[in-house]
A and B are shown apart, each in its own frame.
Chain A
Amino acid sequence: MRLLKEPLLHFIALGGLLFAAHAALNPGGVRAGATPPAIHLTAADAEWLKQMWARQWRRPPTDEELRGLVADHLKEEVLSREARALELDVGDTVVRRRLAQKMTFLLDDTIRTAEPPEAELRALYETRPDLVRTPARVSFSQVFFRREQGDDRARTSLAALSNAAAHPEGHGDRLLLGDTFADQDEQALANLFGASFAQAVMALPADEGHGGGPSAAVTHR
Chain B
Amino acid sequence: MLEFEYARSALKNGLKLEQELGTNPYKFGMVGSTDSHTGLATAEEDNFFGKISASEPSPERLTATFVANPATGKKIMDWEVSSAGYAAVWATENTRASLWDAMQRRETYATTGPRMLVRFFGGWDFVAQDANSRLPAQTGYTKGVPMGGELRAAPQGKSPTFLVAALKDPLGANLDRYQIVKGWLTRDGKLEEKVYDVAWADAERRRPGGDGKLPPVGDTVDVASATWTNTVGAPELATVWTDPDFDPAQPAFYYGRGIEIPTPRWTAYDAKRFGTQPLPSTVMTITERAYTSPIWYTP
Contact = CB atoms under 8 A, between A and B. Distances in A.
B137 A178 contact: yes
Q: Is the interface of A mostly helix, strand, loop or mixed?
A: loop
B132 A174 contact: yes
Given A176-B119, A192-B170, A221 B230 contact: yes
A217 B283 CA distance: 32
Contact of B167 (A169, A171, A176): A176
B170 A179 contact: no
B117 interface: yes
Interface string B134-149: 1111000000000000
A178 B134 CA distance: 8
Nearest to A220: B170
B270 interface: no
Interface string B105-138: 0000000000001010000000000011111110
Interface in A140-156: 143-144
Interface size class of B (residues with CB under 8 A): 10 to 19
A177 interface: yes
Interface in A198-221: 217, 220-221
B236 interface: yes
B136 A217 contact: no
Given A221-B230, A221-B235, A176 B117 contact: yes
A173 interface: yes
A194 B170 CA distance: 8
A191 interface: yes
A167 to B, nearest CB: 12
Contacts of B166: 176
A219 B170 CA distance: 11
A103 interface: no
A20 interface: no
A200 B131 CA distance: 29
8 contacts: A143-B134, A169-B134, A174-B131, A174-B134, A175-B134, A175-B135, A221-B230, A221-B235
